[in-house]
Chains A and B, each alone.
Chain A
Amino acid sequence: MAEYIIKNGFVFDPVLGINGDKTDVAIKDGKFVETTQLANPKTIDATGMTVMAGAVDIHAHVAGPKVNTGRNFRPEDKLFNCTPRRGVERMQGGFSVPTTFKTGYDYARMGYTTVMEAAMPPLYARHTHEEIRDTPIIDQAAFPVFGNNWFVLEYLKNNEIENTASYIAWLLRATKGYAVKVVNPGGTEAWGWGLNCENIHDPVPFFDITPAQIVKGLIEANEYLGLPHSMHVHANNLGNPGNYTTTLDTFKLSEGIKPRGGWGRDQVMHHTHVQFHSYGGDNWGNFESKSPEIMDYVNSHDNITIDIGQVTLDETTTMTADGPFEHHLTELNHLKWANTDVELETGSGVVPYVYSPTIKVCAIQWAIGLELGLLAKDPMRVFITTDHPNAGPFIRYPRVIKWLMSQQSREEMLNGFKHSEKVIDATHLMGIDRELSLYEIAQMTRAGTAKALGLGHMYGSLKPGLEADVAVYDFNPEQEHAPDDIEKAFGNARHLFKTGMQIINEGEIVSNGNKRTLWVNARVNENPQVMRDVKEKFLRYYTVTQNNYEVAGHHYVPNPYVIEVDATQ
């Protein structure tokens, strides 16, 4: 493979502690190496530019059945944005739910090289993997959902952690999944009957278990196995005024549990899109931000990480395995509603949503996300996301970075809202003068996310030995700049390398790369009870046979990267 040297850029690498120093970055055989190891490298001149490791997105909905439902039922999302085949690029289209090709290219243009699909219904794993396969360039992995799975509900009702862990290992292998995802624990199963679980002690109909038991049990099972990533939760009561108490209650379930497995992560719970879970008030009239309460907890507890789920004030398409929430949303905005309940496993809903700056609640939501980022004491544990496409499309990450880095741009927004005064009153953003540095942005989008995913040994830094994923942005931190320059630079990587292959050269996509699908193969001791339960459930309740359930490698995961976990001890 070709050798490259990226010379003279301002490098930001929190793992190596490099904060804007001019350092050369060397690439050989797909990895970063010491510059002395290069024989005859091609030189990339990064003079006056910012250099960071390829970014890692910890939570986005970019592949799978609900994403595709969003695409197919929203032809209007493709209006005026379809582009032709050009060079190596395939046809592209879509704004909030782009086609797979556009997804890969748009992430690359922003300097992202690894993206986690945040919710995979196990029965639809093949579909998710077919889409991942057709998404060029970026490495991806998918999190199967466990929080409403009948096996899990039955095992955890009796606190059977070992059986839960064996089942998790079996399902990760069967679906080629990466981590334990939990969405509205118990609530989506209740939605099978049109009901919900509204707090962590609200019992699940028939199964006689509470969301608290599910979350705590899955954390314990996750650590029993010692998986690379922690349990990744979207708590109950999303999107409702006053829900911050449910969020704090959920956080507290992680107390006293320590990470295992030696993957370098410190957390045992990742709580996603916390913006949607930080609301005070008891109706839409007195709706307000509770981000200080939330961040006080996060800042003082090392075993939690979060991502913000920033509202970008766009027209978007919400989609989640939280089936009852999407029904609630369609009742609220009266737009079209798609729902799919999945036998024994989960459910989901999809509803378009317009986050309008003229609506007070939307503007407050916008402020809360930024507050979470700005109140973070440790940017290695608080990450930038838009919960794509729920709070906004991922292509807005550069804009979110601008807001976090520029008080001026935030205040222009706050003062420009139709209900400016009410929004300022209900939030804390106006008083915050913190402006995040590029170093902190690199923590929130690279070093921190890679570490939380247990992938610090592959991604998130320019350290020799790691995968050579690196982005060069046309941004000179030593020069005067307008806030919009930040957005422009982070949306248009000048150069991008993925595992040592040049993907973007001078702003042009020149290669479709060699994308990989990551999955976790956790080996556990034989567990005849779990295997008997699996067999029985397939015989009696599933509509596919057990032999037709497992995702085979060849077509669905043509280029796998398997992470082995030994949990037999």
Chain B
Amino acid sequence: MLEAVNIQKSFSSEGADVPVLKGVSIRLEEADYVAIVGRSGSGKTTLLNVLSTLVKPDSGALNYRGSDLTSAAEKQLNTIRKSDFSVIFQFHHLLPYLSVLENTLLPFMGSLAPVSRQLEQRALKCLDRVGLADKARRLPGNLSGGEQQRVAIARALVKSSKILFADEPTGSLDKKTGEQIMQLLAELHGDGLAIVMVTHEPAYADLAQRTIELEDGVIAH
């Protein structure tokens, strides 16, 4: 479904190019569950951002269902980000001034046409699934870190995403809440959602079907 071939990416630091990814190749199948692990600075988050099209690689190919995303127009990338891909970050994944329901429906609020009643109902069902239906009208500031992560997951559900990219989704949560989030991800994977997750926790990485370990910008094993 999604294939990255020989991805290279460098960032400038103090006038010099620092290579972060040095020829990474990875293949993701339908309903796959991949954990990316590695030490800090090994390039995990950069790889996740490249795979989710948020960062453009310097070289290499990124193919999604037959389309090369490295040469795709911005419009096509936006369409994929809006419908097929979902990203949840460790922090700051919700707009603080929109309610939980509005944050869940954010991908559909990009035009002057109002969001339909059907979509609103669907969003409420998705919030119900992540246990937040009763907090739909609240602002994110009134939710715990775990609840905020669950809103981001509900957003991915409303979109009927094909792949969920999660960058250390439990990084800012306590152990119990972290486990609840991992349980939720496992359930979604059971429903057919492909997941690519960056994590530091070996126990959470073990929940994935495959683990990729990055070391200094290359896949160690």
User: Real complex partners, A and B?
Assistant: no
